[in-house]
């Protein structure tokens, strides 16, 4: 941890943090925005080195020790050394099914509501489940961390572990949290922020209406439908080859193909569709070295042109995607205020596409696999693609509320076959509509009404 006296200053919340604070105030008894990751490590692990690395990471990562307080001037946050998480070690090898017991422990922890004012917000566990296998559990709240921030913690832990074994650390210590807050304040007072705001005002001026969500509704954050379709093992290779052939990153290709499928039924009477995309918002920022809640979420306005080929669609919408990113630092919460949304309201982030190409941490001499156990609430219809940075280990998770049941069913049967068709060598000059409305073969899926590994919706654990 960066040097912080016990009487560390109280700091303002960012716009993104305030959104989650408001959610907490409206639903204090629900674990809506708990985030949790589990890393399974197999091999000749040095337990003492791992625990030592985690202890140091706990000291270095300011946001793991955040505490919040609501006062006359609104909510504030403070880095409190007393809140630095203790690394808890559990040897479960005497249990009949150690892995099942470990997962039950993690699920029970995720299901507990976190009181942002009074509770320890973060947790670090090491669970030994076999003679040469461990589960490392990291839990927090979205008000403090996003997915990239978690990956930073995972990578730094692995670097410190390697350093303890005599290897050079490939990732240095984190920067203090306040440096990100200072940078964000400077951006919001800059001409760059004004230009970004002008862009979004113009982009949405004649675009579709953006649906508004009341955060205080009883069914807020509920997504009862969940599925993990089986993916063909050749799909990562197909994506890489197709992306390389057409000079586009494979995550962008997957995003734009998923968007095309979501917008498949657009016509002249309904010519465009806002599709929500998380934006890392870290390029060129000090936040590349600071675990925190930085990610933004913004609408990609998808349109269709009659007779347009796949090639023309990718070129045209690729330009729109790049323009979104150039103006992606402009916070969605500010965008909501610009559109007149009131306290207790936010945009309804549906449909949403989230592509997360994060490499698992590498522990010397061991293999490691990461799972996202919880990542906050979901709205409407969500597609989450997760993999390593080269697309290996690609998985798809589909989450939906009951109102999106038809889309959910179609996603399980039609989405992946369309993407495979779009990656064929002959597809580039084929009309997009022809690829979209081809008779799709059924993809075998496994539908889950309860959490499975890498579940992106924490709130579903309320029913377990």
Residue 298 CA to residue 277 CA, distance in Å, equals 6
- Scanning 221-331, the segments in alpha helix (DSSP H) are 235-245, 250-262, 310-326
By the 8 A CB rule, do 141 and 113 touch? Answer: no
Beta strands 225-229 and 212-214, pairing class: unpaired
Beta strands 395-400 and 225-229, pairing class: antiparallel
Same topology, domains 11-179 and 193-357+375-450+457-463? Answer is yes
- Write out pLDDT tens, residues 207-260: 888 999 999 887 777 667 889 999 999 999 999 999 999 899 999 999 999 999
Q: What is the pLDDT of residue 267?
A: 77
- Choose among 256, 332, 329, 342: nearest CA to 297: 332
- Write out pLDDT tens, residues 54-64: 999 999 999 99
A 10 A CB-CB count for 27 gives 20
- Choose among 417, 423, 458: nearest CA to 440: 417
Residue 213 CA to residue 35 CA, distance in Å, equals 22
Residues of the chain above pLDDT 90, percent: 80
> What is the CATH class of 193-357+375-450+457-463?
alpha beta
Q: What is the pLDDT of residue 216?
A: 87
Report which secondary-structure segment, H or E, holds 149: helix 147-164
Q: What is the pLDDT of residue 456?
A: 40
List, in order, residues 6 or more apart from 339 with CB less than 8 Å away.
204, 210
- Write out pLDDT tens, residues 31-81: 999 999 999 999 999 999 999 999 999 999 999 999 999 988 899 999 999
The CATH-assigned architecture of domain 11-179 is: 2-Layer Sandwich (3.30)
- Please name every residue paired with 11 in a beta bridge, in sequence order, or none if there are none: 77
Q: What is the pLDDT of residue 2?
A: 52
Encoded tokens for 128: 């030994």
Q: How confident is the model at residue 453 (pLDDT cuts 50, 70, 90)?
A: very low
Q: What is the pLDDT of residue 1?
A: 55
- Write out pLDDT tens, residues 334-344: 999 999 999 99
Q: How many residues are recorded in the chain? A: 464
What single string gives the DSSP state of each residue in 417-458? HHHHHHTSTT-TTSBHHHHHTS-PPPPPEEE-SS--TT-S-G
Q: What is the pLDDT of residue 135?
A: 98
State the average pLDDT over residues 402-425: 94
Each domain of the chain, given as residue ranges in start order, spans 11-179, 193-357+375-450+457-463
By the 8 A CB rule, do 377 and 457 touch? Answer: yes
Q: Average pLDDT, whole number, for the chain? A: 90
Residue 42 CA to residue 21 CA, distance in Å, equals 38
Q: What is the pLDDT of residue 268?
A: 65
């Amino acid at each position: 941890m960066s040097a912080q006296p016990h009487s560390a200053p109280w700091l303002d919340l960012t716009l993104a943090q305030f959104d989650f604070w408001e959610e907490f105030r409206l639903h204090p008894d629900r674990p809506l925005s708990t985030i949790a990751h589990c890393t399974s490590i197999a091999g000749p692990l040095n337990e003492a080195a791992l625990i030592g690395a985690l202890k140091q990471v706990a000291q270095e990562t300011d946001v793991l020790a955040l505490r919040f307080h609501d006062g006359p001037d609104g909510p504030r946050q403070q880095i409190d050394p007393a809140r630095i998480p203790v690394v808890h070690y559990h040897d479960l090898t005497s249990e009949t099914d150690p892995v099942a017991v470990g997962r039950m422990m993690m699920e029970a922890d995720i299901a507990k509501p976190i009181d942002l004012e009074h509770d320890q917000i973060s947790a670090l566990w090491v669970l030994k489940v076999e003679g040469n296998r461990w589960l490392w559990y990291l839990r927090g709240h979205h008000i403090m961390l996003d997915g990239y921030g978690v990956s930073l913690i995972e990578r730094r832990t692995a670097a410190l572990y390697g350093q303890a074994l005599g290897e050079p650390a490939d990732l240095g210590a984190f920067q203090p949290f306040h440096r990100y807050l200072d940078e964000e304040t400077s951006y919001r007072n800059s001409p760059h922020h004004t230009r970004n705001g002008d862009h979004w005002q113009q982009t949405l001026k004649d675009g579709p209406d953006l649906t508004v969500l009341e955060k205080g509704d009883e069914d807020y954050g509920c997504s009862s439908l969940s599925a993990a379709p089986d993916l063909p093992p050749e799909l990562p290779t197909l994506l890489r080859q197709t992306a390389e052939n057409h000079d586009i990153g494979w995550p962008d290709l997957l995003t734009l193909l998923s968007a095309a499928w979501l917008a498949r039924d657009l016509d002249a009477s309904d010519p465009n569709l806002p599709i929500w995309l998380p934006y890392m918002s870290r390029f060129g920022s000090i936040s590349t070295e600071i675990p925190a809640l930085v990610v933004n979420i913004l609408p990609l306005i998808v349109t269709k042109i009659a007779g347009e080929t796949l090639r023309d669609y990718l070129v045209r919408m690729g330009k729109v995607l790049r323009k979104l990113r150039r103006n992606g630092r402009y916070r969605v919460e500010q965008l909501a205020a610009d559109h007149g949304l009131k306290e207790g309201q936010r945009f309804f982030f549906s449909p949403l596409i989230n592509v997360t190409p994060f490499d698992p941490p590498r522990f010397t001499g061991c293999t490691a696999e990461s799972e996202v156990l919880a990542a906050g609430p979901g709205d409407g219809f969500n597609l989450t693609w997760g993999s390593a940075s080269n697309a290996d280990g690609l998985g798809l998770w589909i989450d939906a509320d009951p109102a999106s049941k038809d889309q959910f069913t179609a996603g399980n049967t039609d989405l992946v076959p369309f993407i495979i068709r779009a990656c064929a060598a002959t597809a580039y000059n084929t009309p997009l509509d022809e690829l979209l409305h081809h008779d799709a073969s059924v993809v075998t899926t496994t539908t889950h009404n309860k959490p499975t590994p890498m579940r992106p919706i924490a709130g579903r654990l309320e029913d377990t």
